Amino acid sequence: MTRLILVLGDQLTPDIAALRAARPDDTIVMAEVMAEGTYAPHHPQKIALILSAMRHFAEGLRADRRTVAYSRLDDPDNTQSITGEIIRRAAETGATDVIATAPGDWRLRQALADCPIPVTQLPDDRFLCSEADFAAWTEGRKQLRMEFFYREMRRKTGLMMDGDKPAGGQWNFDHDNRKPAKPDLFRPRPPRFAPDAITEEVLTLVETRFPAHFGAARPFGWAVTRADALTALDHFARHALPTFGDEQDAMLRDDPTLSHALISPYLNLGLLSPMEICTRVQAEWRAGRVPINAAEGFIRQIIGWREFVRGIWALEGPDYTTRNALNHSRALPPLFWGAPTRMACLSHAVAQTRDMAYAHHIQRLMVTGNFALLAGVDPAQVHDWYLSVYIDAFEWVEAPNTIGMSQFADGGVVGSKPYVSSGAYIDRMSDYCGGCAYAVKEKSGDRACPFNPLYWHFLIRHRDRFAANPRMAQMYRTWDRMDEAHRARVLTDADAFLARLDSGAPV
């Protein structure tokens, strides 16, 4: 009896668990459905990337003589939900059970669990640390810190190790990283891939079906096949990796990608694997073509941060996205959806996001995330925004980064302190402030950079929670030493700014 093998849009890996379990007479089910395109208003480039990559992947399966029941978004019989399509395909084939790889999204895990045709959800073993191993690592630990998890992962994978010692004698070379960057016309740009006929067809479909979503489907230059994703990796390894560490935290108005890899969408869809990426990066370092701070810093992002946040997501469970430890309730300001703002950093980060469906980590964390946190925006709304607008956003990775790292809404599970800063950090790491209507050096008054009063406002409204945190105590001492009239002015300015934000007036 044929069984159904479900392959979701971010499970495009030929040896993924469900496909490994498939027998020759099983039917592989792949479905483009409106429910997945609209549970959040995803960026049109993200939808197009997923649909085109799915169509290319299905072609590969058919070329391997596998039976694929593929539902296109505009098929008249499409029920437009994953479980609806499972039921439809089961009726067509007579299948009575389904093998799936567990989705990285609690909503879909539940939908599969509730499906009237029994679905076996196999663990997704494309991660280097399984959910069970991560849970075991957390046992007996009061605090979960990425750095210690990362060291375990170095030992486990053997990456950047000389025997049982870290290569170069240190686990972490971050003191050599995180420098500001200068505009450089000759800095290599990530490759773009011209849409083929399949992608063109998908782009038109996405433009027709999702016309109101933030951003445009075209111009579209993302890789939609493993072959092109490998080209993107090769380009990064040869051209941008050497300066990855140095420029990791820098932000430039006219250079949205700097030395970043832009490979998260390919990794998250399953076109590339974490180990092959890290092995390649390590080889570049061992061959003497890239410095150790770049190779180590990059590998840490993948086997450290990426695996760590996935473990947290699995551990913390379905209610994680509703956490709100700081009780923030402000509505997400319209500037996040492109409404005009005089704040140059936010204006650049949001415009870039609209145009490319991409912003790098520091733009997400220290510009948009920092602003939302300082302004006290409801973390659920912030989560919905990040999940919608970024090409690489899937709940298992987006939620811990947003709810945890960026908004501290999990109360300190991901990070030991909130990532907040005044305008000085953005000024140091970017060239945004030079073109801004606000003055970054002014601490109060109408022209003062809004990050400055908001920073203190945040610290003061959450003093009870953070004053005892050893990593934050110094900031409270600085505040307490300030002149009282100045402190009152700063808080009044912050209140006035927040009132303007709430009124819908441009800020």
Q: For binding to ligand SF4 (CB under 6 A), which residues are involved?
A: 343-345, 423, 426-427, 432-433, 436, 438, 440, 449-451
Residue of 74, 96, 72 whose CA lies nearest to 86: 96
CB of 498 to ligand SF4, least distance (A): 15
260 touches ligand FAD (CB under 6 A): yes
HSE-CB for 109 with a 13 A CA cutoff: 15
| Contact map string, positions 299 to 318, toward ligand FAD, x by CB under 6 A | --xx--xx--x---------
CB of 436 to ligand SF4, least distance (A): 3
Token pair, residue 2, equals 């044929």
CB of 189 to ligand SF4, least distance (A): 24
134 touches ligand FAD (CB under 6 A): no
CB of 268 to ligand FAD, least distance (A): 5
Q: Which residues pair with 101 in a beta bridge?
A: 122
Say which DSSP state 320 is in.
Answer: G
Token pair, residue 367, equals 């510009």
17 touches ligand FAD (CB under 6 A): no
Phi, psi of 342 (to 5 degrees): -85, -5
Residue of 273, 289, 241, 278 whose CA lies nearest to 161: 278
298 contacts 241 by C-beta, under 8 angstroms:
yes
Cβ closest to ligand FAD, residue 99 vs residue 393: 393
Please tell me the distance from the alpha carbon of residue 337 to that of residue 387, in angstroms, as a whole number: 13
b/e 307-318 (16+ beta carbons within 10 angstroms → b): bbbbbbbbbbee
490 touches ligand FAD (CB under 6 A): no
**Identity of residue 393:** A
Cβ closest to ligand SF4, residue 180 vs residue 221: 180
267 touches ligand FAD (CB under 6 A): yes
- With tokens 């479900």, the residue in question is 6
Instruction: Look at residue 401 and give the partner it binds from ligand SF4, ligand FAD, none, a contact being a CB closer than 5 to 8 Å depending on partner kind.
Output: ligand FAD
Please tell me the distance from the alpha carbon of residue 391 to that of residue 353, in angstroms, as a whole number: 9
Instruction: Look at residue 438 and give the partner it binds from ligand FAD, ligand SF4, none, a contact being a CB closer than 5 to 8 Å depending on partner kind.
Output: ligand SF4
CB of 82 to ligand FAD, least distance (A): 20
Instruction: Look at residue 345 and give the partner it binds from ligand SF4, ligand FAD, none, a contact being a CB closer than 5 to 8 Å depending on partner kind.
Output: ligand SF4
Cβ closest to ligand SF4, residue 335 vs residue 436: 436
| Residue 121 three-state SS | strand
Cβ closest to ligand FAD, residue 70 vs residue 390: 390
Crossing angle of the two packed helices 451-461 and 484-503, in degrees rounded to 10: 100
Q: Using CB under 6 A as the criterion, which residues of the chain lie in contact with ligand FAD when the complex forms?
A: 260-264, 267-268, 301-302, 305-306, 309, 360-361, 364-365, 369, 386, 390, 392-393, 397-398, 401-402, 405-406
